Structure 1
Amino acid sequence: MKVLVVEDEQALQDQLKAALNKEGYAVDQAFDGADGLYYAEEYPIDLAIIDLGLPKINGLDLISKIRELGKDFPILILTARSRWQEKVEGLSRGADDYLVKPFQVEELMARANALLRRSSGFSSPVIRKGPIELNSSSKQILVDGRELDLTAYEYKVLEYLMMHPEKVISKTELTEHIYEQDHDKDSNVLEVFVRRLRKKIDPEGNLKPIETLRGRGYRINPDL
């Protein structure tokens, strides 16, 4: 899943990127509101974390502009301001949640995870499809009760497919959402991830958990 962090404080940017990467998120970074708007308009984003006190375009105006573009990904506000009126204004502009600085990274991760779940239509961190159980909080995958040992990118691929169970996901879309913007994106590597996932989930070849629709992309088997 792709997270955009718009924050002008370098130290906090570094901290958030490290924490989000550790949890398996791809992170795009912007240090002012103008760059944040560019990323939001030009690149696929699953969640934006936006500081209110930004240069060039402030956080409140940035949120308004993002919503005016028709972008509906969830937005989490970061603010050093404690006045309730400013929090309400942020939510009224189109944000979905907020955190007041200073905050614990663990709380931010929990809120980010919850926003991503809800935006995909899931109320629980545990997503089930047939015998496959994915816990988006613990990043644990079970198949018929046995835990799978997945690499970070194998998990990212499966999580994105599980979060969009009725949708055919093109290679381009999947690549854009699991890699950071400056990463060398190779669709052949994506095919390797999918092939390894199939073997790990379904070693006997009975489930057919991930379908390939020629010329269109991948999806979780709707018959699971």
Structure 2
Amino acid sequence: MKILVIEDERKLARFIKQGLEQHGHVADLTHSGTDGIDLLAGGLYDLVLLDLMLPGQTGFDVLQNIRTFGMTVPVMILSALSDPEKVIQGLDLGAVDYLRKPFDFGELLARIRVLQRRTTTGDNVVLRVADLEMRLVSHRVIKSNVALELTNREFALLELLMRRAGHLVTKNEIAEKVWSADYDMGSNVIEVHIYQLRKKLDAIGTTGLVETVIGRGYRMNTP
């Protein structure tokens, strides 16, 4: 998942971002509600982790703006506020979950998995292209009972290509969905990751699955 963390307590924010990335997620981080809305307007996110006690635009303001602008991204509140009225207010404004600080990071990951199962139900829990199978919740890629060892970024890249199998995926789309907001479009990091991904697919006998469309992007071919 690509997750936006909006948290003004910088040490905690860095801890959350690092933990998310260690468990296979792509995470962007901002310390203000205003910047958070700007990132949401310009990027593609699967989840927002939102503090309520933010300087300037509060978490409640962010939730209200998300609703006003018609954004559908799910929001999980992370807050030290335990007043039931605040919890109810946050949920009524559209948050899907509310986790009180301090929290156990394992519980946060478990709640994220629950949200992931809600949004990737049915056929979307397992993606299949040719003889390649991706299990999203358990974060595994399998071909003929052989597991493919991928980095977190390679997994996210392969997931995007599999979801869009048969269709062109541009470099801009890959940058928005798989990389963080500070990605340098002038770098060749996407090409390097495509190359590494192809090598790993070739090693398990899945060749020619990812096609380069010169000057445009990439396409995952279907049988």
Matching residue of 1:91: 91
1:80–1:96 CA distance, 2 compared to 1 (3 A): same
Q: 1:95 is matched by which residue type in structure 2?
A: A
Deviations 1:20-61 (A, max 9, x none): 121232322121212222222233323211012222111122
Distance 2:192 2:152 in 1: 13
In structure 2, the CA distance between the partners of 1:159 and 1:187, relative to structure 1 (3 Å rule), is: farther
Query: Conserved in 2, the CA contact under 8 Å of 1:33 and 1:62?
Result: yes
Matched, 1:68 2:68: yes
Amino acid corresponding to residue 91 of structure 1 in structure 2: L
Q: Which residue of 1 aligns with 2:28?
A: 28
Partner of 1:221: 221
Provide TM-score, normalisation by structure 2.
0.82
Displacement of 1:164 after TM fit?
A: 4.8
Tell whether the 8 Å contact from 1:80 to 1:100 is kept in structure 2 after alignment. Answer: yes
Q: Which amino acid aligns with 2:153?
A: Y
Is the contact between residue 126 and residue 135 of structure 2 (CA under 8 Å) also seen in structure 1? yes
Q: What's the counterpart of residue 10 of structure 1?
A: 10
Does the CA contact (< 8 Å) of 1:168 and 1:217 recur in 2?
yes
The 3-state SS of whatever aligns with 1:154 is helix
Task: Name the CA shift for 1:11/1:204 in 2 (closer, same or farther; >3 Å).
Answer: closer
Secondary structure of the residue aligned to 1:44 is coil
What is the aligned length? 223
- Cα deviation for residue 158 of structure 1 reads 0.8
Q: Could you tell which deviates more after superposition, 94-103 or 132-141?
A: 132-141
Q: Identify the range of structure 1 (178-187 vs 90-99) with the bigger mean alpha-carbon deviation.
A: 178-187
Task: Output the CA distance in 2 between the equivalents of 1:199 and 1:142.
Answer: 15
Q: TM-score, length-normalised on structure 1?
A: 0.82
* Contact 2:6 2:30 survives alignment (8 Å): yes
Deviation at 1:160, TM superposition (A): 2.6
User: Could you list the per-position Cα deviations for residues 135-175 of structure 1 after superposition, in whole angstroms to 9, with x for gaps in the alignment?
Assistant: 33443221111111223322221123335557643211111
Q: Distance in 2 between matches of 1:137 and 1:119?
A: 11
Cα distance in structure 1, aligned partners of 2:167 and 2:95: 26
| One-letter amino acid matched to 1:49 | L
Q: Do 2:116 and 2:137's aligned partners in 1 also have CA atoms closer than 8 Å?
A: no
Matches for 1:48-127 after TM superposition, within 5 Å: 48-121=48-121, 126-127=126-127
Q: RMSD of the alignment, in Å?
A: 2.9
- The change in CA–CA distance for 1:95 and 1:204 in structure 2 (over 3 A counts) is closer
